[in-house]
Amino acid sequence: MRWFALFLAGVLAGCAATLPLAVDDVEQPTPASVEQSRSEVASRNPADELFAMSFSALRLRSLPNNGRDVLEEHWPSVPPYFRGAVRAVFRQTYDGGALGMAASVHFRELYDEEHGSVALEWLKTPIAFEVKFAEATSHRRTGDRLEKFAETVENLEDGALSDRRLEDIRRLSEATRAFESSVDLSLALGYGVASLVNVTLPKSQRRSDEELRALVEQERDQVQADAGYLAAVLASLLYRYRDLGDEDLDAYVEFAESESGRWYHRAINKALVAALLDQPLRFEEAVVAQAGQATARDMNLKTLALPSGRTVYVLGFRSMPYPGAEELLFNLRYRTSLALEEENAVREEAGEVWEALRHHVENTELKVAVLEVAEPMPGIVFTKAATRVFLLRRDEEGDWLFSEDGSEDISLEKLHGTMEALRRLPP
């Protein structure tokens, strides 16, 4: 898992000193928009108000693109059937507001009334407004943004910056722990993306959570030993505050070096890291659910007209884990007009249904399918009908077989309770 090399410019500098190329457009703030934001947070408790006024929004906006860099590196490892689900879960996790809400909850737990009140008052000062304005406008996608950042890096390497500016940036980096925070956020993000990919692999190929964390942590020592990463963070800070006057930068450094300023920056970053580390706990369930929904959207079935002239009514279809096995199975539930006692006719109809669906299932690359056949509804209110179940498995040659010998249908008991578990799931 050599994914961390991708973060030299995009993630390391992006998470704690966000590079202009790492985020989407950020609307330029105006005095009116700032006042509106202040009024919106006025009714919140101090912890929520401080979090809302902090730099956390810019950090969160940088995560999707940084995470996509890691995901792209691992993309060939994701089974094709899961790729749409992985994209959907990634967007839900890193592109939405859920991550910010989770971070705000952690920040409440870290909140210190004494330091928090000082930090909040400072964030309401004109100098703080100038700092946040510089941060926001540095992220705008302008045509010359890469050129300007390259110029900043060149000035840093050539010693063309004033001693005052360079010393302020170094002090700011130390006071805010910009480098350490960058590494923490990058590792947490990388762990999350690696976990998302990991849950799509066969169980025999998956790494345990402990193994994933250990592999990710191995990268920490390598990064901390590489002076190039620190230089990237310093260059990003210089670019970020390039339009901030020396006196305003001096004032920001003074706040950052204060006890309350140090607490503020550490608490915000701890909350963001904690929120990132929370996300993988739900990935496996979310990916399986999304995979099933994607299959349903792709097929968009209500009824199936069969070559025999009969029509079956689709009650539901989804993918789900097969108990005791590593793979997912495809499940289709449909209602027949036949009586289940007509065994041969029901089996022949199931074969027709399968031929109608076969190409859909083969496109998902699944190797196990279950057809659950329900008899005509016995009543209007109490409509639970008897069912019959057929299991199909794809062999190494790519042929689909009903049961093990190609002819025998499988009982619910032989399916290890799979269908009963299915019925307990929401549609």
Q: Is residue 407 part of a domain?
A: yes
> What is the domain count for the chain?
2
Tell me which H or E stretch contains 320: strand 311-321
Which of 234, 252, 283 finishes a domain?
283
**Nearest CA among 177, 173, 161 for reference residue 246:** 161
Q: What is the CATH number of the domain that holds 324?
A: 3.10.310
pLDDT of residue 315: 79
Is 65 within 8 Å of 24 (Cβ atoms)?
Answer: yes
User: Which residue among 283, 313, 334 closes a domain?
Assistant: 283
179: tokens are 């480098």
Q: Is residue 253 part of a domain?
A: yes
For the chain, residues with pLDDT lower than 70 are 1-44, 96, 139-158, 160, 227, 291-301, 319-328, 363-365, 377-385, 403-427
- Do residue 162 and residue 191 come from a single domain? yes
Q: Tell me, what's the pLDDT at 17?
A: 37
For residues 115-127, one letter each, b for 16 or more C-beta atoms within 10 angstroms of the residue's C-beta and e for the rest, the string is bbebbbebbeeeb
Specify whether 373 is located in the same domain as 343: yes
Cβ contact 65:22 at 8 Å: yes
Q: Which helix (H) or strand (E) holds 388?
A: strand 387-394
292 vs 11: CA distance, rounded Å: 32
Distances (CA, A) of 184 to 15, 16, 149, 274, 397: 9, 9, 24, 10, 48
Record the pTM: 0.63
DSSP code of residue 332: E
Q: Do 51 and 185 belong to one domain?
A: yes
- 81 with 35, same domain: the answer is yes
The strand pairing partners of 400, in sequence order, are 394
pLDDT value, residue 142? 52
Are residues 330 and 206 part of one domain? no
Kindly state whether residue 367 falls inside one of the protein's structural domains: yes
Of 257, 283, 309, the one marking the end of a domain is 283
- State how far the Cα of 312 lies from the Cα of 334, in Å rounded to an integer: 6
Which pLDDT score, from 0 to 100, does residue 13 have? 36
Residues 313 and 272 in one domain: no
Containing structural domain, residue 260: 3-283
Record the tokens describing residue 97, joined without a space. Answer: 């507001």
Q: What is the pLDDT of residues 34-71, one digit of tens each?
A: 445 544 544 568 999 999 988 887 778 777 878 887 88
Residues 247, 331 share a domain: no
Measured CA to CA, the distance from residue 291 to residue 318 in angstroms comes to 8
Q: Which amino acid is at 326?
A: E
- The Cα–Cα gap between 114 and 209 comes to 37
pLDDT of residue 29: 43
3-state helix, strand, coil in the chain (%, to 5): 65, 10, 25
Could you tell me if 377 and 252 lie in one domain? Answer: no
95 assigned to some structural domain: yes
For tokens 């929904």, name the residue: 293
Residues 12 and 159 in one domain: yes
Can you list the pairs that 278-286 forms with residues at least 24 positions away whose Cβ atoms lie under 8 Å? 278/102, 279/93, 279/99, 279/102, 279/192, 279/195, 280/191, 280/192, 280/195, 280/196, 280/209, 283/89, 283/195, 283/196, 283/199, 284/199, 286/85, 286/89, 286/92
The whole-number pLDDT of residue 120 equals 95
The order of strands in the sheet holding 387-394 is 303-305, 311-321, 328-335, 368-374, 387-394, 400-402
pLDDT at residue number 425:
35
